[in-house]
Structure 1
Amino acid sequence: LADLTGVTTYSTLEAYTYAELSKLTVEQISKLGEVLDDEKIPMGRFTCVKSKKSGGSVQLTMADRLYFSDKPYVPHIPMPNWNKAVEDDICRQLGLQNGNDYTEVRLLRDKNGRRLIDKNGKVLYSKYFYFKVSSVPKDVTMRQMLSYLASAQGQFGYVDRFGRYVRKWYGSSVKTLDNNTIDLPTLSERQNAIVGIICKVSDDVTLSLGVTDTTQGRVLEFENPYMTESLLQSLWRRIGGFSWYTTELYHRLGDPRFDIGDVVTYTNGADSYDIPITNLEFTFDGGLSADISAVGLSVEEQL
């Protein structure tokens, strides 16, 4: 999201837009790859999964490589094995680069973004979690397996704009939006806040932390056969108390740098609302706009 070169502006998008795909000539389509390789704001790499011809035009449906992940995961590596090896194996089978750096040192932060300090005043840090994957559950898909590996580290996985599989969790706000650039948004009446987590490990084992009374706030429930007490403790330190507003908004001046997992702040006078982007849809019709939403049930719906 950082604009390090100072040359990326909204007007530069015009250089990368020919026309509607159905109106492109064969020569223009062949040139498209050359243009995308030099994008200042890459918009993703996709595979054509459906092609439909109608009259003199062709409608193409494109998807990232996770489109093919809803089939059973059959390991091409010996088991048991480390989570990194399993993640690498699934990425290879899907034709994806694993963009997660397991050697990178990460500073540990609390739910408010502050660095964690030990009792001696030392900054705490950690490398990415390594844990053993003992076996593969019966009939588990590659998508499910990736979700287990990601949620064990308190993250979700997706394919980034460079075609790599990466994991992330919501961080600090990247941009402030106001009524000058967006239509009046639909906001939840009250803020959502995660007050507890419940993880089903197996039919016999369920782990939980925080408050499990849903009248007190949002309780995050999920399944993960690889979750342990220590992994759950680390996850809770990072996401406990995470808060957001359920939102739907139309961004008239769509920012192509927005991505799933970013957080934006909407301000209206003295009021401000943190909005994690869980759904994002860009529209180009001579100008770029975006529909942004943050999912979440109301307190009444959750109960």
Structure 2
Amino acid sequence: MYPISPLYADYLKRHEREFLIKAIINGEEYTNAEIVEFSIENSLTLSDGFEIGTAIPNKLIIKLRSKNEIPANARIVPYLAISTEGLTWDQAIYPWQDMQIPWTGGSTEWLPLGEFFVDSREKINDVWTYTCYDKLVFADVAYISQLSYPASQKAVWDEICNRLGFSYDSSVVINPSYQIQAGPAGYTCRQVLAYIAGANGASVFVGKDGVIRFKRFVANAPSVFEMTTADYIRVKQTNPIKSYSRIVVTYNTEDDLSFEAGSGDENHTLQFENPFMTQAMANNLLVALSGFSYLPLTMDARGFPHLDQGDIIGFAQNEGSSWLETVTSWQDTHIPWDGNVQYRSIILHQVLSFKGGLKLTIEAPSVSEQQSEFALEGSLSQQVNRLNQNAIRYGKPYYGVTHSRTEGIVVEREDHLFKGVFNGEELSFYANGDKALWFDIPSRKFIFAGDLEAVGGTFTGDLSAAGGTFTGTLVGVNGTFSGTIQGGSFIGGSIRIGSSFSVDSSGHMIAVGADFSGTISASVITGGQINGTNITGADILGSRIRTASSGDRIELDRDGFVFYDSNNARRVVLGTNPNAGISGHTYYNSSGQSQGLIYAISNELHVIGNNNLRLGANGGRIILQGLVEFTNSVVGLSVSQISGLQNQLDYLQSQINSLSQAYYNHTHSVTLPSHNHGRVENQNWGGTFTTSRP
């Protein structure tokens, strides 16, 4: 329900209300003087019952008395207000700070009724009738995704909305774990939006402000608007209360494959199509709809323009009777004192009409129990259904194959990487949207826009090429090669160029000499030694050079030298690491596990063992020149293993022992003269004294 002010809500309930209308059409304002009448149709279902996962455009039919014709796709926004000319101070029961009412009177705020675009028109006398739809009609275009799949449903939704310029509000809540496994080829953007909404228990519609919204269906949702018996003209219940306990969603209509959740008869089963659904999604949808029910009805009411499709409405119906007509016992009789019984239902379809006054028609249709259990088909329906099952239809993909009146047979991958078109005017293959191979009718030739690669083949005519790379076998009787020949071997007759170069019938190339100024490309170059005549040239470039195809060998590639043993295990690697700024060797054991490395950085050479590191000299010495720094303990090195160290330590110990003995046996004497510290009364004191040992 669109938010309105308390003043607007109060005036809507009054019987003496007077409506004001206007429309902004292509930037120009039209008022009551030009607008004859209009009707706005909002729907969440187009069938005879409840549906989920729909995206139905709102429809506007407006009649104008105007001399100027409105252009195609013109934007129309109708507005509705209520006159407040008769409002007096004693009627102003609204909070002062919340009201914006001019002193001279006027109207309530202008309520937008939606954003529409002209689709068709008709003129009778001087009145134009325009049929318009909201922006969802612009989503009826093929969806070609640029995403990488699998992709989340939220990412697909955002891609479509960004491409179409749609904005959406907080009601659009998409489960972040829901994914689409492959690019949805063959669907329109509106279909994809509807499928995503259905998987998340909702339907799509455009609000009165032109914003995309979700209507989510849940159990026990509160009413957003309450109607009294004075607010509607008549209401008719069309079926018993409808509820659902079982869901059947068809994800493959061709093979009639579906997921089921819950249990129940056909009358309580919700059936719909959605190729993006999974069993887990169907189970979650059943939980969301558990307890959801509505009262099927049709209602003719006074106009309430702020109501949206999907709104839950409550209404009162007088079902009072006299006590003489009551046949139930006192304790079992539940009749309100005023006789008005309260009901709730949902707006699945509504039509708001203005023709001087405002009228609202509300529908909540449902399929009856008999129609659910016994879906009778006539002979014509049976034939149509049989054709639908067996006939090939235009625009319908069959494992990537579609039939089109304009293109004929089209074969296309879901990610649009490949496409083939076959018809009477075109035989083409596309790669990433560009022609890769096609038959040129005027020249009667097949044309390749890319590279031609073959494992083998025989060309019986003339083969002319400006350039190319042949990685397979080229067999030819004759031909003229004006470009560059790159390949492995030639098999067939002989190829001779001048008098110094030829290829014999066994496929060997014989040349007295050759100068190669271009590029030589080959799968394998096999040879023993290169000796004798000097080989001169610029560079030999290649992705890999190796001394043998397998076993004990050395390989050279762009990362460095690699040494392999007879078991094809990598043992030594010599190379550089530009990112780390180092170069060196890495050593591996027979199992291919790194045992250590030697590498250089800007100012140091590092020798590192991943497990143990042994430095040894058989019959010689290990000489360490320069300062040696140990950052951890040294294990296994004794004093006797260091030449001369024991003698030096023994000499130092004897010196320490001598010093200790002399120290502990030392005494000396001190002689002090007699003195009385300058006081005659003191006794003279002095003599010779000997110290004790330490």
Smaller-chain TM-score bracket: 0.7 to 0.9
* 1:129 is the counterpart of 2:175: yes
* Distance across 1 between alignment mates of 2:368 and 2:348: 16
Structure 2 counterparts to residues 16-55 of structure 1, below 5 A: 16=22, 18=32, 19-20=35-36, 21-24=63-66, 40-55=110-125
What code does the residue aligned with 1:299 have? E
Alignment gaps of 5+ in structure 1: 103-126
- Which residue of 1 is the match for residue 142 of structure 2? 72
- Which residue of 2 is the match for residue 264 of structure 1? 313
Tell me the TM-score normalized by structure 2: 0.36
* C-alpha displacement of 1:15: 5.5
Identify the match of residue 172 of structure 1 among 217, 222, 228.
Answer: 222
* C-alpha displacement of 1:34: 11
Structure 2 counterparts to residues 105-254 of structure 1, below 5 A: 128-130=174-176, 131-170=178-217, 171-202=221-252, 203=255, 206-214=258-266, 217-251=267-301, 253-254=302-303
Cα distance 1:90–1:205, how it changes in 2: closer, same or farther (>3 A)? same
* Distance across 2 between alignment mates of 1:86 and 1:13: 43
What code does the residue aligned with 1:275 have? S
* Distance across 2 between alignment mates of 1:295 and 1:62: 25
- Which residue of 1 is the match for residue 6 of structure 2? 6
* 1:288 is the counterpart of 2:349: no
Would you say the 8 A contact 2:309–2:350 is kept in 1?
Answer: yes
Identify the match of residue 154 of structure 2 among 73, 84, 88.
Answer: 84
* C-alpha displacement of 1:204: 7.6
Would you say the 8 A contact 1:65–1:95 is kept in 2?
Answer: no
- Match of 2:362, SS state, is strand
Give the structure with the higher percent helix.
1
- Match of 2:121, SS state, is strand
What code does the residue aligned with 1:211 have? S
* C-alpha displacement of 1:226: 2.3
Relative to structure 2, which stretch is displaced further, 150-159 or 42-51?
42-51
What code does the residue aligned with 1:297 have? V
Dislocated runs of 4+, deviation >6 Å: 32-36
What code does the residue aligned with 2:188 have? T
What code does the residue aligned with 1:237 have? V
- Which residue of 1 is the match for residue 642 of structure 2? none
Would you say the 8 A contact 2:309–2:347 is kept in 1?
Answer: yes
Would you say the 8 A contact 1:244–1:274 is kept in 2?
Answer: yes
Would you say the 8 A contact 1:196–1:208 is kept in 2?
Answer: yes
* Distance across 2 between alignment mates of 1:194 and 1:302: 12
What code does the residue aligned with 2:291 have? G
Cα distance 1:4–1:265, how it changes in 2: closer, same or farther (>3 A)? closer
Relative to structure 2, which stretch is displaced further, 40-49 or 145-154?
40-49
What code does the residue aligned with 2:20 have? E
- Which residue of 1 is the match for residue 486 of structure 2? none
Would you say the 8 A contact 2:171–2:214 is kept in 1?
Answer: no
Would you say the 8 A contact 2:296–2:345 is kept in 1?
Answer: yes
* Distance across 1 between alignment mates of 2:4 and 2:168: 25
State the structure with more CA Rg.
Answer: 2
* C-alpha displacement of 1:22: 1.5
Would you say the 8 A contact 1:196–1:240 is kept in 2?
Answer: no
* 1:255 is the counterpart of 2:261: no
* Distance across 2 between alignment mates of 1:250 and 1:101: 29
- Match of 2:64, SS state, is helix
Cα distance 1:81–1:286, how it changes in 2: closer, same or farther (>3 A)? same
* Cα deviation digits, residues 131-154 of structure 1 (max 9, x gap): 222223442222221111001100
* C-alpha displacement of 1:4: 6.3
Would you say the 8 A contact 2:295–2:345 is kept in 1?
Answer: yes
Tell me the TM-score normalized by structure 1: 0.78
What code does the residue aligned with 1:14 have? L
* Distance across 2 between alignment mates of 1:274 and 1:61: 33
Cα distance 1:212–1:92, how it changes in 2: closer, same or farther (>3 A)? same
* Distance across 1 between alignment mates of 2:362 and 2:109: 23
* Distance across 2 between alignment mates of 1:176 and 1:34: 25
* Cα deviation digits, residues 175-203 of structure 1 (max 9, x gap): 22243222222212411111211122344
What code does the residue aligned with 1:187 have? Q
Cα distance 1:222–1:136, how it changes in 2: closer, same or farther (>3 A)? farther
Would you say the 8 A contact 1:201–1:225 is kept in 2?
Answer: yes
Would you say the 8 A contact 1:44–1:162 is kept in 2?
Answer: yes
Would you say the 8 A contact 1:197–1:212 is kept in 2?
Answer: no
* Distance across 2 between alignment mates of 1:45 and 1:268: 35
* Distance across 2 between alignment mates of 1:34 and 1:260: 18
* C-alpha displacement of 1:273: 2.9
Would you say the 8 A contact 1:201–1:226 is kept in 2?
Answer: yes
What code does the residue aligned with 1:212 have? G
* C-alpha displacement of 1:230: 3.4
* C-alpha displacement of 1:296: 0.9
Relative to structure 2, which stretch is displaced further, 165-174 or 266-275?
266-275
Q: What's the % identity of the aligned pairs?
A: 24
* Cα deviation digits, residues 205-259 of structure 1 (max 9, x gap): 5322221322xx42111222222343333322221221112211100x2111111
* Distance across 2 between alignment mates of 1:167 and 1:34: 23
